Amino acid sequence: MFTLLIVDDDERARAFLQGVFESAHHQVKAAADAPTALRMLHREPCDLILLDIELPGVDGLALCRLLRAQEATRRLPIIIISAHDDEEQKVDAFAAGADDFIVKPATRRELLSRVSTQIEAAQRERALVGSNRELGFLADLGRGLLVALEPLQVVRRVAGATYEATNAVLCAAMLETGKVNDEERADERDAAVATQLSADAVGCVFDREGSAEGAALIDAVKMKRWLASAPATSVRLEDSEEFFLRDEAHCIEYVAPLRFEGRALGALIAAFDRAQDCGETESRLIDAAAQQGALAAHISSLYEATRASSASLAKEVERHTAEAEAQRRFTEAIIDTLPVSLYAVDRSYRIVAWNRNRELGGQGIPRGHALGRNVFDVLTRQPRETLEREFSRAFKTGQIERLEQESVAADGTSKHWLVSKVPMRVEGDAVSHVITVGEDITTRVEANRAVARTEKLAAVGRLAAGVVHEINNPLATIAACAEALETRVAEGAFGQSTEVDDLRQYLSLIHSEAFRCKTITNGLLDFSRNRAGQHTPVELSEVVKAAAHLLRHQKRSRNVEITVHASPDVAPVSGDAGQLQQAVIILAENAIDAMPQGGTLLLRVQNEGASVRVEVCDTGVGIPQENLARIFDPFFTTKEVGQGTGLGLAVCYGIVTEHGGRVAVDSVVGRGTIFVLTLPSMSEE
């Protein structure tokens, strides 16, 4: 039996689907919109989602993309259902991350078959991921235990590796070592990562912060009593009275005995805050770690017996090993803590270091996937020739080189990086390694661009303010003279010859061109005008609706369907309603011009945290990537001569910026453009 979540605003469709799957003995939950579905998923996970493509508010595709962006639901099977057998919808659904697409109405057998297929595929994927995770864990732990010669090292490595692999909130390992003399007992008390439970046992606990500390959290009496019962199998404890760890927050413990030759040498304990966090994969990992830990403990006991004749030498080896291990971990911690992406290659271009920040982000690569491999096989997104040239130059010159690079993420956003190639010499004068350090400077670059744009707008505004008044007077004179001459021609002052017709045509041309210049100067004047004024509470929903009403009465919008989606609880903003309406109309008119063959214009208003978000979405021709960085520059336009001044978006940018807001744009050529205005909402005070 599986748990299914049906998200459909049609009550009859939900009832039908619920009946189909409940008749097949599945547990079914239903939601009518995206927020309800998200709340239900937060409270309790499910095995599959049937998602209607048309939902109120957040549609099915948006919800699908949101679920794919979250770690908890990234691999959850999602089937999109729709009443339309439309190829474009199917393409959009699969692009959003859907696993299947079903057209309503579907038969009971088809629904059950497709759901069963997707759940089985997800189970196979989870099983494969679990197997790979278990094999990798066993390999890493085995390598670590090869150098664990002391009981303290065994418990620390077993507990630490299990803590990291299972994502437990607490992980402890305990090992009975037999009687020890006073000198050895004092030595063990000095260990930083473990302490004695008693005279003949040692233990280690990795706490909620991931720090290895003493075994005070282990209930030694209860643990010894359990080991004395010679447990043969692992136990799952959900009753806090039976727990072995003194921690009030967790709700489940999984305890595996460290058994060797029929005897329990110790125990491995993993604690979780939620029962679902301790699944089959985690149980197998803990059992496997306990088996390897038991073997390592046995080897450790043999080593203890052997070193009895060379105690002083063994202590020296142990001390140096512990220092080297601590130094190594400390060095790795420093490298992992650095707020930069860092990796190093040797002269064979083999990766020998890869810090944790290099694993994060949309282009991150796991450390285990990178270490030991050729850098050109790992960093395949970058041109091999460019990388090879950079590394060769660093190995040859031995000088630090810094480069600025720009990358484009899957969602179309740009990232800017400062990449440094740092030569390193381990022995001798020759460069043995090259360290590459990448720093995300996107915020700094965008801030510099914003400052440059603001300075450019201010400079153009000052220039426009000074020039407009000087141009308007001659233009007015030219227009007045042209009108006067037209009047005299109409009165017959110049007779009725063919030259008079030419004169009438030239005068009309002079008059129209003078007024076109007047339109441009008025745009400049509007661009340079100081917009500071009395701000009052403004309802953006009403501003957008009024703008849509005005747009519907324009001839240019006769082939465009204009739709307004306004949330009922949109917070007010502080500003000038007329200026904000002007900004919306500018964006809407540009959107209409981008749809010469007609299309859909959507104006959406909604809350977004402490801000109000206004979206102007069209289905037009889109904006090429190379033009996106220039669209807010004054006088930049892609329209034909005479059809635009290139000042509209600059004016819009100035209005929104002076209201403390931001303007963003996302465009795909051939599919449309979305402009987003974000303005700070007013507090309740």
Query: pLDDT tens digits for 107-164?
Result: 888 888 888 888 888 878 776 665 666 666 767 777 777 777 788 888 888 888 888 8
| Spatial separation of the C-alpha atoms in residues 122 and 466, rounded to whole Å | 68
Helix axes 442-490, 498-528, angle to 10 degrees: 150
pLDDT at 414: 72
pLDDT at 247: 84
448: helix, coil or strand?
helix
pLDDT at 602: 93
In the chain, % of residues over pLDDT 90: 10
Q: Which CATH number fits domain 446-528: 3.20.16, 1.10.287, 1.10.3470, 3.40.50?
A: 1.10.287
pLDDT at 219: 87
Which of the pair, 643 or 597, is modelled with greater confidence? 597
| Spatial separation of the C-alpha atoms in residues 365 and 358, rounded to whole Å | 7
Q: Residue written as tokens 């407009």?
A: 468
User: Which homologous superfamily does the CATH classification assign to the domain defined by 338-438?
Assistant: PAS domain (3.30.450.20)
CB 648 within 8 A of CB 663: no
Give the contacts of 375 (CB within 8 A, at least 6 positions apart): 343, 345, 349, 350, 351, 387, 391
pLDDT of residue 604 exceeding 90, the answer is yes
The domains spanning 446-528 and 536-680 adopt the same CATH topology: no
Give me the residues paired with residue 206 across strands. Answer: 171, 212
CB 241 within 8 A of CB 251: no
Q: Which CATH number fits domain 536-680: 3.30.565.10, 3.40.50.720, 1.10.3720.10, 3.90.1150.10?
A: 3.30.565.10
pLDDT at 464: 64
CB 564 within 8 A of CB 544: yes
The CATH architecture annotation of domain 3-129 reads 3-Layer(aba) Sandwich (3.40)
Q: Which amino acid is at 632?
A: F
Strand order in the sheet with 351-354: 351-354, 341-346, 433-440, 414-424, 401-408
CB 533 within 8 A of CB 504: no
Give the contacts of 50 (CB within 8 A, at least 6 positions apart): 4, 5, 6, 7, 8, 17, 79, 81, 102, 115
Residue range 200-231, pLDDT digits in tens:
788 888 888 877 777 788 888 888 889 888 88
CA atoms within 13 A on the CB side of 229: 11
Among the residue ranges 162-171, 291-300, 356-365, 509-518, the one predicted with the least confidence is: 356-365
* Domain edges within the chain: 3-129, 147-333, 338-438, 446-528, 536-680
Q: Which amino acid is at 428?
A: G
CB 616 within 8 A of CB 674: yes
| Spatial separation of the C-alpha atoms in residues 614 and 679, rounded to whole Å | 8
Q: Which amino acid is at 547?
A: A
Question: Where do runs of H (alpha helix) occur along 29-107?
Answer: 34-43, 60-69, 87-96
How does the average pLDDT of the chain come out, rounded?
Answer: 81
pLDDT of residue 67 exceeding 60, the answer is yes
Strand 201-206 versus strand 170-176 pairing type: antiparallel
pLDDT at 519: 65
| Spatial separation of the C-alpha atoms in residues 196 and 189, rounded to whole Å | 7
Q: How would DSSP label each residue in 259-315?
A: EETTEEEEEEEEEESSGGGS-HHHHHHHHHHHHHHHHHHHHHHHHHHHGGGGHHHHH
Which of the pair, 436 or 613, is modelled with greater confidence? 613
Tell me what the mean pLDDT of segment 57-78 comes to: 87
CB 456 within 8 A of CB 634: yes
| Spatial separation of the C-alpha atoms in residues 231 and 427, rounded to whole Å | 54
Measured between alpha carbons, how far is residue 381 from residues 325, 344, 384, 386, 387 in Å?
35, 18, 9, 11, 11
| Spatial separation of the C-alpha atoms in residues 525 and 134, rounded to whole Å | 69
Residue range 410-435, pLDDT digits in tens:
656 677 878 888 888 887 778 888 88
Tell me what the mean pLDDT of segment 57-70 comes to: 88
| Spatial separation of the C-alpha atoms in residues 572 and 612, rounded to whole Å | 8
pLDDT at 685: 52
Tell me what the mean pLDDT of segment 620-645 comes to: 73
| Spatial separation of the C-alpha atoms in residues 408 and 405, rounded to whole Å | 10
Phi then psi for residue 666, to 5 deg, are -135, 125
| C-alpha dihedral sign at 356, 357, 358, 360 | positive
Q: How would DSSP label each residue in 636-662?
A: ---SPTTS--S-HHHHHHHHHHHTT-E
Measured between alpha carbons, how far is residue 22 from residues 45, 99, 104, 633 in Å?
18, 22, 19, 59
pLDDT of residue 684 exceeding 60, the answer is no
Which of the pair, 91 or 457, is modelled with greater confidence? 91
pLDDT of residue 196 exceeding 80, the answer is no
CB 345 within 8 A of CB 352: yes
| C-alpha dihedral sign at 100, 104, 109, 115 | positive
Radius of gyration of the chain (CA): 35
CA 246: distance to chain centroid?
37
In the chain, % of residues over pLDDT 70: 84
**Which of 177-191, 260-274, 618-632 has maximum average pLDDT?**
260-274
Question: Where do runs of H (alpha helix) occur along 491-624?
Answer: 498-528, 540-552, 577-593
User: 147-333, which class in CATH?
Assistant: alpha beta
Phi then psi for residue 354, to 5 deg, are -160, 105
Q: How confident is the model at residue 13 (pLDDT cuts 50, 70, 90)?
A: confident
